[in-house]
Amino acid sequence: MGKEIMRSAIRNEVIDTLINTLSEHYDSDVLQVSASAIVMPAVDAEGNECFVKISISVPRGTRNGEGGYNPYDGYAEHEDWKLAQQDKLDKENARKAKAEHAEKERERKRAARKVIKELNKKGLDGMIKEGE
């Protein structure tokens, strides 16, 4: 058996398992729409109807320039994804911290202007009363 035939067999087995499992779990139609994709109807939180589409592939890897492939590594891709998600989270937290700092700085400046305004007002009143 060739590699492509074996990969197709694995993909088809996974598709059959997904169709059976999703059909039972959601008590819904699960339809195969291509050699590598299935769809099923769904309803969102607001009651809107939509479809969920799942594509299945058995990746070969990347071409190595020598007429072959460097094998695909799902574990490495997962680690890359986790690092990217952590990077997004770190950037989001940094943005929030910067916004909080800016808001505190604006509040500090507002308070300082208020104090200065009160001092100026009292100082002017004090100077007027001194002249009386």
Name the residue ranges covered by the structural domains of the chain.
1-58, 75-132
- Over residues 53-90, the pLDDT tens digits come to 999 999 988 888 888 889 999 999 999 999 999 999 99
Radius of gyration for the chain, computed over Cα atoms and rounded to the nearest angstrom: 32
- Over residues 3-35, the pLDDT tens digits come to 889 999 999 999 999 999 999 999 999 999 999
- φ/ψ of 128, rounded to 5, equals -65, -45
